[in-house]
Each structure stands twice: as C-alpha cells, then as structure tokens.
C-alpha cells in the first residue's frame, strides 16, 4: 500500500470506523534514518489506533526506527516480510526475508528490546512456487520464539521473479486453507489473514477460522465498507450516518491542510471511492479528478459536491 495509506487516507478512513486498526504504508528504515522523520511519521491523533509498517533487515536499524515510532506515538510496529517488488528485494527485505527466519527473529528481538509497544510481522505463505507447508510454519515458529505473537498472513506465495507487484497480488493462487491450518496448529498465536477478501460475508467466513482479517485495496476502492465494521465486529454504533456526513467531517481537516500550504488533491485522491457502487459515483469521481476544480483548493465545496451527488443518486434511482 505504498503511496496509498498515507496520513490523509488514514484520517479519512478513521471517519468511517472508530475501532478498526489502521496501518501506514510501508516505510523503509533508510527513509527514517536518513530522511525527514517528521514528514514520514507525523499523523493526526484522531487516526489512533494506528500502526507503523517498517521495511528493513538490519536489527539495529529496525530497533532505532522502532524507538522513533514509539516516540511519535504509534501503537504497534509491523515488520514487512511480504512485499515482493524487485526494488524491495534489492534492499534485501520484504518477502525474500522469509528465506531467513533466524534473521527476522533477530530483527524482532532487537525491536522488542527497544520498545514497549507490540512488534508484529506481515508475510506470505511461501516464496516462489514452493508449496511446502512446513516452510511457512517453520518461519512463524522461529519468529514466535523471538517473542512475536501476531502474524498477518497473506494467503498467497510471493513469486520473486517474473511477476510485477500487481501480478503478485493476482497470479499466485490464494490458499486460505494454509492460513487456517496455521491457526489450528498454533492456537497460542494471533493469526490474521490477508489477501483477496472484499465483502462482509467473506470477512465473516474468515473470522470463523482465524483471529482477524486485514484488508487493503478492497477498502481503499470501496471505503464505505468500513462504515459497517464498528457495529458488526465491535458491537458499537457505526461512526457515520451518511456519506455526506463523512464529507462534512473532513472539510475542517482539509481546510487546515490547505491553509498550511497543502493541496486539496492530496486528500481527495483517497476519497474517489466513497460513492462506490452508488448512483452518481462516476460523476463524483469525475468532479474530484477535475484539475481546474482541484486547483481552486476550496475544501468547502466538497459539501456541495456531496449534495449534488446525493441528489443525482435520487434522480437516477427514480
């Protein structure tokens, strides 16, 4: 989710659900240790609970970044051992780390020694075309011995050669049975499934076999799905009542961002899917993508745009 789940995206998603845990895009240790820390780590307190996802393979560097994350107020640090991109592989982290479980264990141990917040791991069920269940189980057991208790398992292999990151989310077959077996055989660990899940019914089915579900692109493209989560999974009233109420709630945030020199597009690009599947959705997306409208940088006009979209939906429904 690099370049997707930035702080503006997370603020928008938090308006849709109060309880669902939110995760940052993956940040590399190099970006934090040698870049603009505040630019990478700043977030609005309203986003909590929010976890920082890190990419790296040097225990000392990951520990230093974990300390930074805890100082900034993140509630969890997640180590990415699942990204298959060639750029990430050249950095010797991401999915290729699954072949080095002892190194991952050292990384987790160094981070846990450095911070008091939970350290978790996200990974695949295998690398390349190998389908040996014992491979992923050994990986988890080795990292668990270092103290990790929560594993986010993307139910596909990562093919390290010959596929783009997009193809790696589509071509390797989904094998949820592997993730379910991991939970049955390692019941003391928290196992969260990821990959190819996009509806409430699918989430419900997975929760019968594992401890949690991680969603990425499904809720990015259809964010209103999040509006169901608080009541359905946490037994609390949902945050928003209408899509327009979400738009009204984000206007003050957008106004502060624009006043500080930011652009409205940095926020609205994450809102294109708000009316996904609804009458008027195309017009909403078209308006939010209009370069002239965006260049005006007038957050207050979002509310009028939402009203027009709602009115168009009524007409189309009639």
Catalytic positions are 83
- Number of neighbours of residue 104 by Cβ within 10 angstroms: 24
For 23, phi then psi, to 5°, come to -125, 145
For 44, phi then psi, to 5°, come to -80, 135
Separation CA 227–CA 81 (nearest Å) = 29
User: Cβ contacts of residue 157 below 8 Å, gap of 6+?
Assistant: 124, 125, 126, 127, 128, 129, 130, 131, 172
Separation CA 302–CA 307 (nearest Å) = 9
Separation CA 90–CA 102 (nearest Å) = 19
Separation CA 54–CA 97 (nearest Å) = 13
Considering only CA atoms, which of 83, 25, 24 is closest in space to residue 57?
A: 83
Alpha helices in the chain (DSSP H): 7-14, 29-34, 37-41, 59-72, 86-90, 101-114, 133-145, 165-168, 176-185, 200-207, 217-221, 229-234, 243-259, 265-268, 281-288, 291-296, 301-317
Q: Number of C-alpha atoms within 13 angstroms, CB side, residue 66?
A: 26
């Amino acid at each position: 989710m690099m370049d997707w789940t930035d702080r503006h995206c997370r603020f928008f998603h938090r308006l849709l659900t109060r309880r669902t845990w939110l995760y940052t895009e993956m940040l590399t240790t190099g970006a934090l240790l040698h870049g603009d820390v505040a630019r990478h780590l700043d977030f609005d307190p309203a986003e909590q609970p929010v976890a920082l996802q890190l990419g790296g393979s040097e225990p000392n560097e990951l520990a230093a970044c974990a300390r930074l994350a805890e100082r900034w107020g993140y509630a969890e640090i997640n180590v990415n051992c699942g990204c298959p991109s060639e750029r990430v592989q050249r950095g010797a982290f991401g999915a290729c780390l699954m072949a080095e479980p002892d190194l991952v264990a050292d990384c987790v141990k160094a981070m846990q020694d450095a911070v008091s917040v939970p350290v978790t791991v996200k990974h695949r069920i295998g690398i390349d075309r190998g389908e040996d269940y014992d491979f992923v189980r050994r990986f988890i057991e080795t990292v668990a011995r270092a103290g990790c208790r929560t594993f986010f398992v993307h139910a596909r292999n990562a093919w390290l050669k010959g596929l783009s990151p997009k193809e790696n989310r589509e071509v390797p077959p989904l094998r949820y049975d592997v993730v379910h077996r991991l939970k049955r055989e390692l019941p003391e660990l928290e196992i969260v499934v990821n990959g190819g899940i996009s509806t409430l019914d699918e989430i419900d089915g997975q929760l019968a076999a594992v401890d949690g579900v991680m969603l990425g692109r499904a809720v990015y493209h259809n964010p209103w799905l999040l509006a169901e989560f608080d009541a359905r999974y946490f037994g609390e009233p949902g945050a928003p009542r209408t899509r327009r109420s979400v738009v009204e709630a984000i206007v003050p945030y957008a106004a502060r961002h624009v006043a500080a020199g930011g652009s409205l597009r940095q926020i609205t690009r994450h809102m294109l899917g708000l009316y996904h599947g609804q009458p008027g959705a195309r017009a909403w997306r078209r308006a939010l993508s209009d370069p002239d409208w965006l260049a005006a940088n007038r957050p207050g006009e979002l509310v009028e745009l939402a009203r027009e979209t709602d009115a168009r939906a009524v007409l189309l429904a009639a």
